[in-house]
A and B are shown apart, each in its own frame.
Chain A
Amino acid sequence: MLDAVTSLFPWITNGPLIVVQVMSGLSVAMFLFLVSVGMSLIFGVTRIVNLAHGSFYMVGAYLMVTLVETLPQHAAMFWVALLLAPLGVGLLGGIIEVTLLRRIYHREPLLQLILTFGLILVIGTLVLIVWGPDNKSVARPDALAGSVRIFGQPFPSYYLLVLGLAPVVAIALWIVFYRTRWGMLIRAATVDREMLGALGVDVATLYTQVFIFGSWLAGLGGALSAPTVAVALGMDGDVLTTAFVVVVIGGLGSFAGSFISALLVGELQSFGILVFPAVSIVLLFAIMAVVLIVRPWGLLGRPEE
């Protein structure tokens, strides 16, 4: 029996390999979490499916390119850029919320989809005009350019940063949501925004803040991914589908759901590739289909009343 298994999956007895495969799955998961949690948050509060989320991610990555190029050459400047780029995206998100989205919260969802879809086209074209059509890239900071050995297998040290940072973001989000007044208001807004308004809370400002925060998270995902991908036109669409699926699996509006969903997708994909490399393209959607059949509102989402 064991022989049959090992001949089918020769890697199963290779402990170090399994550890590295788990680790690579984890790093996939952490990137997924960072790029999707902002989308989930914005939907939870404003009920807007922000299709431009991938565009914010793209702008974060492009800002990272420009900042790393223009800031003085110094090892610390990568970190300064990593701090500034998401702030720039947050600002962009704020401007878009105040000038555009604010006008359509009470309109039908179709209109909201058309608006955020339009934003994809507008932002994509602006990026083409500002940065040009050529592929760009950000070098990893020297300290994280190489790899570390895990049970003798090389593992990129930059991913350790991501593996460390994403849980920090998750814990920080949890503290903000469950231990601060602002977080309490956000949770209240996801349940009943009319009631919250009636109680004298300035819901409009709260929405703006949440949208800025969600955009900042998208920008952070983009800035952090920039050294591991090509910064190029089209990265908005590539990330949007994946982020959307992760959010749907986790339950729209639930950040803990996004975290669990990202882990699930990352690890299943990682081992799926090892076992059936040919089906990896459908795996993401297969997971979504299974979850939605069992729980149509996602893992930790709430059913619509």
Chain B
Amino acid sequence: MRLRLRSTLAGFGVVALLGVLPGPDRAAAQPKPIKIGEINSYSGVATVYTFPYKEGLAMATKEINDAGGVLGRPLEFLHRDDKLKPDEAVKAARELTLQDKVDFLAGCISSSVGLALSAYAKDAKVLYFATHCQTSRLTWDDGHRYVAHTTNNVNQYVRVAAKKAATLPIKKWANISPDYEYGHNMWEEFSTYLKKLKPDVEFVQLNWPKLGETDHSSYITALLQSGAEGLFSSVWGAQSIAFVKQARPFGLFEKMRFVAPSVGNPDELDPLGKEAPVGAIATPFAWYDAGLHKRHPKLEAWTKKYTEWATAKGLKDPQPKLGASWGYASAYIIAEAIKRAKSTDTEKVIGVLSEGFEMDFPWGKVVMRGCDQQALPPQWLGVVKLDAQGKPFATDIEEVQGKEVARSCEEVKDLRAAAAAKQKK
């Protein structure tokens, strides 16, 4: 009896083992997926942007795969969390290329992560699609053939804002920007372009609070005495909300016209509510705008589809925020490049990117420019207002094509030459 029990158990064991072992090559029946290692910040402070981005990317991937994939193969993104650290990102990139054998790399929200991944890509000769960070150094000063940027860069939306600022009857401009690469890059682009368009402008009281400063009272009172009639701000996210909440009761926005690219997006406007800076000029992604819906007939349906998708995925706020459109566009641009190359071979895909192409999205035409492998999407400009219920939103939306404002291929060439000369020194 005992013996029998034992052999039965052994029999079960063998069956169980067999179950675990791979069957006769089942995987071969399905085409091998095209694997893209996607590195972004999926924990902590940046999740407000990266969660919508990831869902936009996932929705596009599903659409692409449902339509038969790319070159008959499904697209697959392998996500890794960079914890906002360049070294973590490079470590993940190395693992993804060496162990997971991914075909391409993608990702980044932090500009420093993007630059680190780009440097790794150049070294390892892997093609890297920067999908979420925005420094112009990626494809310009530090650009090379192994990096492509699938979203707009700082230069494009700041220039749109500066162009608008130049039309205002304002001579004296002040600045408040966070004291790091991005903030300085933003002010540099804004002030030089504004000066070029309107040479008689003056710049006073340039404030550089640290990134993440929580109390701006002293900057605000200093601004009040500066005599400035216009204020440019590249403070963004939670810090921007804090700055606006603190500046409003001081009467700052009555004293000077506020130009702040990030402030028109709902991740800042919704928490601000009736404390929003009415009259501020911003560069939002205005998916809800009736005028944009008229110009881009597919936008409304896309908005509805994304909102349903994000709700089903359990996002607490399923609105198609900026990141959602970037994730969505990035997946399609990567797929298109592979499709046009008719291969996942790195050099062939780079060949396609360096020639450039154009794609239609629900929000308009995106140009992938060949000379710098930089995306030039449409840009929007809006003014913050309150609706009848006291909810703030950006309205009076104007559309400007990225290619109309971005630095030209010749300028980019000069930037790269200057950066190379600097490195030699």
Contacts and interface: CB of A to CB of B under 8 A. Distances in A.
B210 interface: yes
A228 B241 contact: no
Interface string A138-164: 010000011100000111111100000
A229 B247 CA distance: 11
B245 interface: yes
Given A134-B267, A137-B272, A155-B250, A235 B218 contact: no
Given A153-B224, A154-B249, A155-B250, A137 B271 contact: yes
B96 to A, nearest CB: 24
Interface of B: 43-45, 47-48, 51, 179, 205-210, 212-215, 217-222, 224-225, 237-242, 245-246, 249-251, 267-268, 270-275, 316-317
Contacts of A238: 212-214
Interface of A: 10-11, 14, 17, 20-21, 24-25, 27-28, 31, 124-125, 128, 132-137, 139, 145-147, 153-159, 225, 227-235, 237-239, 242, 269-270, 273-274, 277-278, 280-281
Contacts of A147: 249-251
Contact of B206 (A28, A227, A235, A277): A277
B213 A24 contact: no
A132 B210 contact: no
A154 B221 CA distance: 10
A233 B206 CA distance: 28
* In the complex, the 4 A-B pairs of residues with the closest C-beta atoms, listed nearest first: A156-B249, A230-B241, A234-B45, A232-B238
B220 A278 contact: no
A66 B213 CA distance: 24
B375 to A, nearest CB: 25
B97 to A, nearest CB: 28
Contact of A25 (B44, B208, B218, B240): B218
B218 A269 contact: yes
Contacts of B220: 24
Contacts of A228: 215, 242, 245-246
25 contacts: A11-B225, A17-B225, A21-B218, A24-B220, A27-B215, A28-B215, A28-B218, A133-B48, A137-B271, A153-B224, A154-B251, A156-B249, A229-B245, A230-B238, A231-B271, A232-B237, A234-B44, A234-B238, A237-B212, A238-B213, A269-B218, A277-B207, A278-B206, A280-B219, A281-B208
A155 B221 CA distance: 9
B221 A24 contact: yes
